[in-house]
Amino acid sequence: MKKFLSFLAVAALGTAAWATEPVTIDLTQGEALTYSTDANWNTVATMEQDGVTLTFAMGSGDNKANFNAGGFFRIFKGNTMMVSAEETIAKIEIATTEEGNRSNVTVDAGTYDASTKTWEGEATSVTFTNPYRNGGSWDLTSMTITFAETETPSEPEFVFTPAAGTYTEAQLVNVTVNNKPESCFMQVKFVGDTEVDWMRAESFNVTESGDLYARLVSSEDYETVLATSAAQTYTINIPEPMTIRFNPAAGEVEAGTQVTVTVNNKPEGYKALSRIGEGSWSQYVMTYTINEAATIQVVVVPEETDADGIVWYAIANDMKAQAAYTIKQEPVVEPKIVFNPEAGEYEAGTQVTVSAEGIDYDYIIEATYNEVTKQGTTVTFELNETGNVYATVLKWSDSMEDYVATSLTASARYTVTEAPAEPVINFDNEGGEYAESVTVEVTVENMPADAELTYSFYSDEQDAYTIDNMGVYGPITITESGTLTVTLNKAADDGEGAPRRAISYPITKSAHYTITPATAINDVRAAEGNVTYVNVMGQTSNVPFQGVNIVMQNGKAIAKVVK
């Protein structure tokens, strides 16, 4: 529908009145109708023009031919016509045939003047009914709909629901606009720890504290911003929920397992009580030993609650928890031969152990690898070339004279790969004389996965090592004279079943560092000669500067002096 004043004109004039132009509908063209049937088999006809919708309810049966006959829309007795629009309707002027003017038409809103065939009022929907009971009809040829004038503000008004503020949970914020101009769409933006740039939407789920913005953008030119809201600050302060935990969790456990109950973020003024089985509730016992199938229960109740009066089923679900435990049964282990590590590709020198599980009689294992045969309850080979390890379980004979072979056999194939390079420990400063503290960076080439470094420093001024396990790659700052030693050892826990490499541990590297600071003027004279001096500004000279100097000889600092 056309407006008398465009939005831009309204913005220029401040606040102004505008009205939608009247709409005149020609009702002599029946083919403009769309027909349908409602649930009661009544015929319903509708048509739309310039934002106005006409709906005719014609009763049961097929009245289409009679309804459109004679170049008008005929409303029989008991039928209705509804006029509806998005804008507020102020007046409806109806033209009828001479014979089809019924003065007893009724309306559901406003007032209808039969003499002028005019309805007046304020509504977005008006229903006319022809109650004539003696076979008469109301024959319409046209109608003109006039809309009410509307005051519109010069600027859109953004409304955020819920409003900005502090909340204890995430908020889905809907944004609406009062006095929204035509031909535009909304964008929202959020700035917090997480930033979400402008996106097309009319709502945003605020899950963290920050500022929410909204703006209107022209749908004809997306880069033209028509209006932008002020920052709406939302503070999301979600309290940590109360949690009841059992350690270990419910399930199968070994006999003698201790289960500890913890309650975190308990509400102020409440206490936690626990029990095992049907025992008494206790505020002080939160650890239980499981020796048979049992259930541990925990409740959180107000401080004044008497433990003797607690009924489990009367406590709210979010204020209680329970965990059921059963005793784990020893699994039945099928007799088998075990290779550790299993068959596969390994470095030369890897140790392969052959053993057995689940055997309840006196036995030994006989295993062969590359024509070498060994016997024992456990057999170990060192891989040196690709080949198979064959193993058989031997049982002590009934005659008590010797071991005899059983049907329990197994084999595993091992492919030997080239051994990696040996580990090498490197210092970036290899030791020597220094005028002040020195930093040493430690690196290891070809560091094995199953190894660890330890660092030790032996001071020249004391009789014992000071040991500090610093992990890999230091760095270490040396402030006094002494010897730094770095040792590469096999890790205490190198992982069950990990391949064993043929490395000769330990591997060590040491260097001695002499720290000799000098501050006397005599040191300057003693050092003069084939040396250079560096002052605190980093400047270099063949003669000492006034003040503090670093004495350099062959590119290395040998003293710190003062002139």
- The pLDDT tens digits of the residues spanning 223-259 come to 899 999 999 999 999 888 899 999 999 999 999 999 9
58 and 145 belong to one structural domain: yes
Across 473-492, average pLDDT = 80
* Side chain identity, residue 521: I
User: So what's the pLDDT on residue 451?
Assistant: 81
Who contacts 134 (Cβ-Cβ below 8 Å, separation ≥6)? 77
Does 61 reside within a domain? yes
Query: In the chain, pLDDT over 90 holds for what percent of residues?
Result: 47
Co-location of 314 and 186 in the same domain: no
Is the pLDDT score of 151 beyond 80? Answer: no
What is the amino acid identity at position 500? R
Which is higher by pLDDT, 68 or 34?
34
Q: Name residue, tokens 């290899």.
A: 430
Inform me whether the pLDDT recorded for 425 exceeds 80.
Answer: yes
Non-local CB neighbours of 376 within 8 Å, separated by 6+ positions: 364, 365
What pLDDT is recorded for position 467?
52
The answer to whether residues 132 and 27 belong to one domain is: yes
Which range, 6-10, 137-141, 373-377, 465-469, is most confident?
A: 373-377
Answer yes or no: is 314 within a domain.
yes
Which tokens sit at 474? 């230091």
Identify the weakest region by mean pLDDT among 382-391, 419-428, 520-529. 520-529
Domain shared by 138 and 18, yes or no: yes
Q: How many CB atoms lie within 10 A of CB 541?
A: 11
Question: How much is the pLDDT for 75?
Answer: 77
Using one digit for the tens of pLDDT, what is the confidence trace for 186-232? Answer: 999 999 999 999 999 999 999 999 999 999 999 988 889 999 999 99
pLDDT for the residue 470? 52
* Average pLDDT score over residue span 535-550: 78
Query: pLDDT band for position 2 (50/70/90)?
Result: very low
Tracing tokens 């004038």 back to the chain, one arrives at 149
The C-alpha atoms of residue 322 and residue 296 are separated, in whole angstroms, by 5
Asked if residue 114 and residue 27 are part of one domain, the reply reads yes
Model pLDDT, residue 126: 95
Are 446 and 489 members of one domain?
yes
Residue 273 — φ and ψ, nearest 5°?
A: -125, 150
Q: Confidence band (pLDDT; 50, 70, 90) for 10?
A: very low
Is 435 among the domain residues? yes
Residues in the chain: 563
Evaluate if residue 334 carries a pLDDT over 90: no
- pLDDT value, residue 457: 83
User: 112 and 62, same structural domain?
Assistant: yes
172-205: burial string, b at 16+ Cβ within 10 Å, e else: ebebebeebbeebebbbbbebeeeeeeeebeebe
Q: How confident is the model at residue 34 (pLDDT cuts 50, 70, 90)?
A: confident
Q: Where is average pLDDT lowest: 17-21, 26-30, 424-428?
A: 17-21
* Rounded mean pLDDT, 97-120: 85
Q: Which has the minimum average pLDDT: 43-47, 129-133, 411-415?
A: 129-133
Instruction: Confirm if 321 and 247 have CB atoms less than 8 A apart.
Output: no
Q: What is the pLDDT of residue 17?
A: 54
DSSP letters, 511-556, are: EEEEE-----HHHHHHH-SS-EEE-TT--EESSPPSSEEEEEETTE
Quick check: is 374 in a domain?
yes
| Highest mean pLDDT: which range of 22-31, 125-134, 372-381 | 372-381
Residue 501 scores a pLDDT above 90: no
| CATH assignment at residue 48 | 2.60.120
Beta bridge pairs of residue 418:
none
Report the CATH number at residue 350: 2.60.40.10
CA distance 191 to 172: 15
Secondary structure (H, E, C), 427-480: ECCCCEEECCCEEECEEEECCCCCEEEEEEEEECCCCCEEEECCCCCCCEEECC
Q: Residue 329's pLDDT band (boundaries 50, 70, 90)?
A: confident
Domain boundary among the residues 327, 350, 367 is at: 327
Amino acid occupying residue 418: E
Q: Are 122 and 148 in contact (CB under 8 A)?
A: yes
Does the pLDDT value for residue 149 go beyond 90? no
pLDDT for position 9: 33
Handedness of CA 27, 31, 33, 38 (dihedral sign): positive
Whether the Cβ atoms of residue 365 and residue 392 lie closer than 8 Å to each other: yes
Q: Is residue 2 part of a domain?
A: no
Residues 557 and 498 in one domain: no
| pLDDT tops 90 at residue 98 | no
The secondary element (H helix, E strand) that includes residue 10 is helix 7-13
Residue 499 neighbours by CB distance under 10 Å: 19
**Range scoring the smallest mean pLDDT among 6-10, 134-138, 390-394, 557-561:** 6-10
Which residue would you say has higher pLDDT here, 59 or 267?
267
| 136, 19: one domain | yes
| Average pLDDT over every residue of 333-351 | 91
Indicate the number of domains in the chain.
6
Segment 107-117 shows an average pLDDT of 90
Tell me what pLDDT residue 94 has.
Answer: 92
Residue 347 vs residues 97, 257, 368, 386: alpha-carbon distances, Å: 107, 41, 19, 10
For residue 301, being part of any structural domain is answered with yes
User: In the predicted model, is pLDDT for residue 442 greater than 90?
Assistant: no
Strand order in the sheet with 548-553: 540-541, 532-534, 548-553, 556-562
CA 125 from chain centre, in angstroms, equals 49
Q: Within this chain, do residues 82 and 17 fall inside the same structural domain, yes or no?
A: yes
pLDDT value at residue 455: 82
- The answer to the question of residue 108 being in a domain is yes
Query: What is the average per-residue pLDDT within 499-512?
Result: 78
Q: pLDDT at residue 459 above 70?
A: yes
Q: Does a structural domain hold residue 1?
A: no
In this prediction, residues 459-471 reach a mean pLDDT of 62
Could you tell me the residue range of the domain that residue 253 belongs to? 243-327
pLDDT of residue 234: 97
Which among 417, 445, 471 is the end of a domain? 417
DSSP, res 128:
E
Among residues 417, 442, 470, the one where a domain terminates is 417
Q: Residues 6 or more apart from 73 whose CB is under 8 A from it? A: 27, 30, 56, 67, 81, 139, 140, 141
What's residue 511's pLDDT?
92
Give residue 65's pLDDT band: very low, low, confident or very high (50, 70, 90): very low
Residues 495 and 547 in one domain: no
Predicted structure pTM score? 0.30
Looking at the fold, whether 295 and 371 belong to one and the same domain comes out as: no
Please give the share of the chain, as a percent, with pLDDT higher than 70. Answer: 83
